């Protein structure tokens, strides 16, 4: 079904929205390449200007001059907790409930291990087939390794609630779907999970820094999230994880490396987990990447999450409206929910030639991405995106579709990452 | 037993060694703070000068300008394999047998999982109580999670050979001991393990980049190693792992994240491991930290490992000789083997007041470190250390011991990391 919107905008009217935007000054805190409209901050966030100088300081002063002393003197050793506590403020967690460590995948392994250990008499992990694949892959790896017959049960998003039975050990879902941008009902599904005696493990990869999240209010048990998307932490930035305080002492996670030990520098041969969230650390943190993440998080803390959400919805709403009014005849099928309460900070359209169209668009300086088999994905990051960028992106997309410039071999040849 | 060496050196004679040192020019490739003698490159390697510029390029051009496109266009996606293949040249592995990923601890979990899976009818992991603790902790975590009664059996280094029985699934040991610097016999123990049907998993944390290692010649099955010590990859640099080609197809490791999938960007819900070493990847690599590691590895590839070993032994030999001749009466007890064939690139001395003495020494600009309960550890990195630094370090240590400057509260108060 295609809604036909009245074309009530012009480029000039859109520019007025930027003039009234309270977040507009934040854009100046980012480095953005000239001529590019970046609609892929949901895949890799843009570079905060502060990061470059901070990394130079970490490299030259802290590593170069301070050398090993910087673990104490520059606060490296506390960085996973310090940055975790900052992220906690973005996702409605309390101090001591979030820590930065490893990758999202590795953190999923830790937290899912916790969930299964806390429900030893249950065997079902409930998720959706369109969950981000690495979450499913990690669950499959864990199930294989545990070897006691756990089942990864996949049901459509709208069947999750009814599928939460007393067989389920853990609900393991992503808050905002990476393909469609659909938001799952965190408070409702968590409540339903708890009613059935299951734990709720949420992946915040497309939520943290993109929209308000309140883990505490929703009574969430466990969560993981990504540092390199809306937190603008840089390519492959360390990830984070959340364990509600009530569960922290109940389980010692299997990736029990020295950084999660009660006394890492006592060098005793037996593992004893640290108190609190620190037991979810494993090896030595990648400090350069972690320092970059902290810059991104600091910037986000300067803005108000309610304002970010407001602008995010205005941007996605504008994009949908402009595509549907200005590109009506090109067969783009909206994948993202029209209901704004169910929409993350991205808009996806399906098209049989989506891959080639996206390559042509990237070639033209509008960077979105493509998710197999046919989804063109556009991320809208309120901190550095203008309303006029949305207008201009649609204009460039229109030209590509009108002139069919996407229809050439160079744009159809698949690359490893898009 | 304390050997009393004839004091045949003077500062002037030691300076002649530097003049004749073929590796001397390498020092200029590193940034070293003025006034500091750095004897802790075994804990955190010094900053290569090239790293600063390279990271600025990664941050500004590749992340800032290239944004998401850099995964393809700047070779980020291939970096784990590319840098792995470079490290392979330092440790006697073949292309496609080494990959950079995660931390040493996480990589130990993966490779030990492989070893146990390949010997499903055996239950013993053989190691030493003085192995680096995180290796023991990870084994304990894995054993708990597998839950089928594996045993971590710890025996003294000199009892390893006789303890390799047909109960043993995996020999899991560190090539160069982090406290004493003792080298274990890699070819001999690996052969013995194989005779008993066990696999050999070696931790190269204090070997890679420090001395010649030939995994292929020793027929080693699995190995892990650290990026931030002798590889000079920066604080918390990503680690590496090695899986002999003959074992790669036999097992799919449990941390089965999307980067180790056969088709990471097909976004299918079922895990299928990539061919070859890539299946040991898990999440998205921390690119800033990985780029810094590559700089460190590149520098090491410029030098010849035989020359590095030759100078390393000359430095440690000189240090032992000078301590034992110039500091004879201060009760420092050598922990490191006198036999150079059994000594890594470090020298450790035990002293009841070792902690305070090391703090006083660090305060005086000679940076070594301390390992509980009483070991002062001095690392000797041939790429950026001069013979005269060894002389001067002993001179400063002598003053501290003669004047007892270590005997004050400030030096006795324990810090988190030393």
Give tens-digit pLDDT for B275-294.
Answer: 999 999 999 999 999 999 99
| CA pair distance A351, A396, nearest whole angstrom | 17
Write phi, then psi, for A206 (nearest 5 degrees): -105, 15
Q: Which residue of A has its CA nearest to B133?
A: A269
Other beta carbons within 10 angstroms of residue B299's beta carbon come to 22
| CA pair distance A402, B147, nearest whole angstrom | 62
Question: A11-63, pLDDT tens digit by residue?
Answer: 999 999 999 999 999 999 999 999 999 999 999 999 999 999 999 999 999 99
- The DSSP string of A367-413 is E-EEETTTEEEEE--TTT--HHHHHHHHHHHHHHHHHTTT-SHHHHS
Check whether B7 has a pLDDT greater than 90. Answer: no
Q: Which of A38, A118, A283 to mutate to test the interface with B (most CBs of B within 10 A)?
A: A283
Q: Write out the two tokens for B129.
A: 């109580």
Proportion of chain B above pLDDT 70, given as a percent: 98
Instruction: Spell out which residues of chain B touch residue A103, defining contact as CB-CB under 8 Å.
Output: 102, 257, 282-284, 286
Chain B contact for A272 (CB, 8 A cutoff): no
Q: What is the ipTM of this complex?
A: 0.96
**Alpha-carbon gap: B299 to the closest alpha carbon of chain A (Å):** 16
| CA pair distance B158, B357, nearest whole angstrom | 31
**Alpha-carbon gap: A176 to the closest alpha carbon of chain B (Å):** 16
Q: Where in chain A is the domain with CATH 3.90.1150.10?
A: 11-49+304-412
Q: Where in chain B is the domain with CATH 3.90.1150.10?
A: 11-48+304-412
Reported as type and span, the H/E element at residue A41 is: none
**Alpha-carbon gap: B270 to the closest alpha carbon of chain A (Å):** 6
Instruction: Spell out which residues of chain A touch residue B141, defining contact as CB-CB under 8 Å.
Output: 252-256, 271
Chain A contact for B384 (CB, 8 A cutoff): no
Yes or no: domain B77-302 corresponds to CATH 3.40.190.10: no
Distance (Å) of CA A188 to CA A105, A138, A175, A203: 25, 25, 12, 16
- A228 an active-site residue? yes
According to CATH, what is the number of the domain A11-49+304-412?
3.90.1150.10
Check whether B30 has a pLDDT greater than 50. Answer: yes
| CA pair distance A252, A260, nearest whole angstrom | 9
Check whether B350 has a pLDDT greater than 50. Answer: yes
| CA pair distance A187, A242, nearest whole angstrom | 16
Write phi, then psi, for B406 (nearest 5 degrees): -70, -15
According to CATH, what is the number of the domain B11-48+304-412?
3.90.1150.10
Can you say how many angstroms the Cα of residue A62 is from the centroid of all Cα atoms in its chain?
Answer: 29
Cβ of A236 within 8 Å of Cβ of B38? The answer is: no
Instruction: Spell out which residues of chain A touch residue B241, defining contact as CB-CB under 8 Å.
Output: none
Nearest one of A37, A45, A33 to A385, comparing CA atoms: A37
**Residue B27: per-residue pLDDT:** 98
Q: Write out the two tokens for A150.
A: 């756990």
Contact B136, A271 (CB under 8 A): yes
- The 10 Å CB-count burial string (b at 16+, else e) for B57-88 is ebbbebbbbbbbbbbeebebbebbbbbbbbbb
Write phi, then psi, for B50 (nearest 5 degrees): -65, -25
| CA pair distance A417, B218, nearest whole angstrom | 38
- A203 an active-site residue? yes
Annotate chain B with three-state secondary structure. CCCCCCCCCCHHHHHHHHHCCCCHHHHHHEECCCCCEECCCCCCCCEEHHHHHHHHHHHHHHHHHCHHHHHHHCCCCCHHHHHHHHHHHHCCCCCCCEEEECCHHHHHHHHHHHHHHHCCCCCEEEECCCCCHHHHHHHHHHHHHHCCCCEEEECCHHHHHHHCCCCEEEEEEECECCCCCEECCHHHHHHHHHHCCCEEEEECCCCCCCCCCCHHHHCCCEEEECCCCCCCCCCCCCEEEEECHHHHCCCCCCCCCHHHECCCCCCCCCCCECCHHHHHCCCCCCHHHHHHHHHHHHHHHHCCHHHHHHHHHHHHHHHHHHHHHHCHHHCCEECCCCCHHHECCEEEEECCCHHHHHHHHHHCCEECEEECCCEEEEECCCCCCCHHHHHHHHHHHHHHHHHCCCCCHHHHCCCCCC
**Residue A254: per-residue pLDDT:** 98
- A94 an active-site residue? no
Nearest one of A169, A110, A99, A163 to A135, comparing CA atoms: A110
**Residue B372: per-residue pLDDT:** 86
Q: Which of B86, B343, B377, B386 is catalytic?
A: B377
| CA pair distance B55, A287, nearest whole angstrom | 13
* B144: nearest CB among A130, A254, A268: A254
CA atoms in the 13 A half-sphere facing the CB of A387: 24
Check whether B4 has a pLDDT greater than 80. Answer: no
Question: B175-215, pLDDT tens digit by residue?
Answer: 999 999 999 999 999 999 999 999 999 999 999 999 999 99
Q: Which residue of A has its CA nearest to B229?
A: A68
Cβ of B257 within 8 Å of Cβ of A63? The answer is: no
Contact B215, B81 (CB under 8 A): no
Cβ of B33 within 8 Å of Cβ of A67? The answer is: yes
Cβ of A137 within 8 Å of Cβ of B258? The answer is: yes
Reported as type and span, the H/E element at residue A296 is: helix A287-302
Instruction: Spell out which residues of chain A touch residue B72, defining contact as CB-CB under 8 Å.
Output: 415-417
Contact B378, B39 (CB under 8 A): yes
Q: Write out the two tokens for B23.
A: 């590796």
Question: A323-363, pLDDT tens digit by residue?
Answer: 999 999 999 999 999 999 999 999 999 999 999 999 999 99
Question: B305-314, pLDDT tens digit by residue?
Answer: 999 999 999 9
**Residue A416: per-residue pLDDT:** 66
Other beta carbons within 10 angstroms of residue B263's beta carbon come to 12
Tell whether pTM > 0.90: yes
Q: Which of B85, B102, B203, B369 is catalytic?
A: B203
Chain B contact for A35 (CB, 8 A cutoff): no
**Residue B413: per-residue pLDDT:** 84
Instruction: Spell out which residues of chain A touch residue B82, defining contact as CB-CB under 8 Å.
Output: none
Q: Write out the two tokens for A10.
A: 């012009």
Burial class (CB in 10 A: 0-12, 13-18, 19+), B294: buried
Write phi, then psi, for B297 (nearest 5 degrees): -65, -40
Distance (Å) of CA A239 to CA A208, A227, B102, B325: 11, 5, 12, 51
| CA pair distance A259, A249, nearest whole angstrom | 17
- B404 an active-site residue? no
Could you tell me which residues are beta bridge partners of residue A171? A126, A200
User: Checking phi first, is residue A16 left (phi over 0); if not, alpha (psi -120 to 50) or beta?
Assistant: alpha
Chain B contact for A114 (CB, 8 A cutoff): no
Q: Where in chain A is the domain with CATH 3.40.640.10?
A: 77-302
Cβ of B102 within 8 Å of Cβ of A102? The answer is: yes
Residues of chain A short of pLDDT 50, as ranges, are 1-5
Find residues 199-258 of chain A whose CB sits inside 8 Å of chain B.
228, 234-239, 252-258
Cβ of B288 within 8 Å of Cβ of A55? The answer is: yes
Cβ of A267 within 8 Å of Cβ of B372? The answer is: yes
* B286: nearest CB among A33, A179, A237: A237
**Residue B416: per-residue pLDDT:** 66
| β-bridge pairing A239-243 and A222-225 | antiparallel
Instruction: Spell out which residues of chain A touch residue B418, defining contact as CB-CB under 8 Å.
Output: 265
* B72: nearest CB among A259, A367, A416: A416
Instruction: Spell out which residues of chain B touch residue A113, defining contact as CB-CB under 8 Å.
Output: 145
Check whether B3 has a pLDDT greater than 70. Answer: no
Q: Write out the two tokens for B265.
A: 């960007």
Could you tell me which residues are beta bridge partners of residue A101? A239
Chains A, B: CB contacts under 8 A, how many?
294
């Amino acid at each position: 079904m295609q809604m036909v919107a009245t074309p009530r905008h012009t480029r000039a009217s859109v520019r007025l929205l930027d003039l009234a935007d309270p977040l507009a000054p934040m854009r100046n805190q980012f480095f953005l390449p000239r001529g590019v409209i970046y609609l892929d901050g949901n895949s890799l966030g843009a570079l905060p200007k502060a990061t470059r100088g901070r990394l130079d300081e970490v490299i030259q002063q802290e590593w170069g001059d301070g050398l090993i002393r910087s673990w104490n003197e520059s606060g490296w050793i506390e960085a996973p907790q310090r940055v975790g506590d900052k992220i906690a403020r973005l996702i409605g967690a309390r101090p001591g409930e979030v820590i930065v460590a490893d990758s999202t995948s590795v953190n999923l392994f830790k937290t899912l291990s916790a969930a299964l250990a806390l429900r030893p008499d249950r065997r079902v992990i409930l998720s959706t087939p369109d969950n981000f694949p690495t979450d499913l892959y990690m669950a499959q790896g864990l199930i294989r390794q545990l070897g006691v017959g756990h089942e990864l049960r996949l049901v459509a998003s709208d069947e999750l609630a009814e599928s939460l039975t007393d067989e389920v050990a853990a609900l393991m879902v992503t808050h905002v779907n990476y393909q469609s941008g659909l938001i799952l009902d965190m408070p409702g599904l968590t409540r339903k999970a708890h009613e059935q005696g299951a734990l709720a493990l949420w992946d915040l990869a497309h939520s943290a820094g993109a929209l308000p999240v309140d883990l505490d209010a929703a009574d969430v048990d466990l969560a993981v999230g990504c540092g390199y998307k809306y937190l603008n932490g840089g390519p492959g930035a360390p990830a984070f994880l959340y364990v509600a305080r009530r569960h922290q002492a109940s389980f010692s996670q299997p990736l029990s490396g020295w950084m999660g030990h009660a006394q890492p520098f006592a060098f005793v041969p037996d593992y004893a987990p640290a108190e609190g969230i620190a037991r979810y650390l494993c090896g030595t943190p990648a400090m350069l990447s972690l320092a970059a993440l902290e810059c991104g998080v600091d910037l986000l803390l300067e803005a108000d999450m309610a304002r970010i959400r407001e602008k995010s919805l205005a941007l996605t709403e504008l994009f949908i409206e402009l595509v549907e009014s200005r590109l009506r005849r090109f067969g783009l099928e909206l994948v993202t929910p029209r209901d704004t309460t169910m929409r993350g900070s991205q808009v996806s359209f399906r098209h049989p030639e989506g891959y080639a169209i996206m390559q042509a668009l990237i070639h033209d300086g509008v960077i979105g991405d493509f998710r197999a088999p046919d989804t063109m994905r556009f991320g809208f990051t309120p901190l550095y995106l203008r309303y006029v960028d949305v207008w201009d992106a649609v204009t460039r997309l229109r030209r590509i579709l009108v002139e069919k410039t996407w229809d050439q071999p160079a744009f159809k040849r698949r690359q490893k990452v898009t």
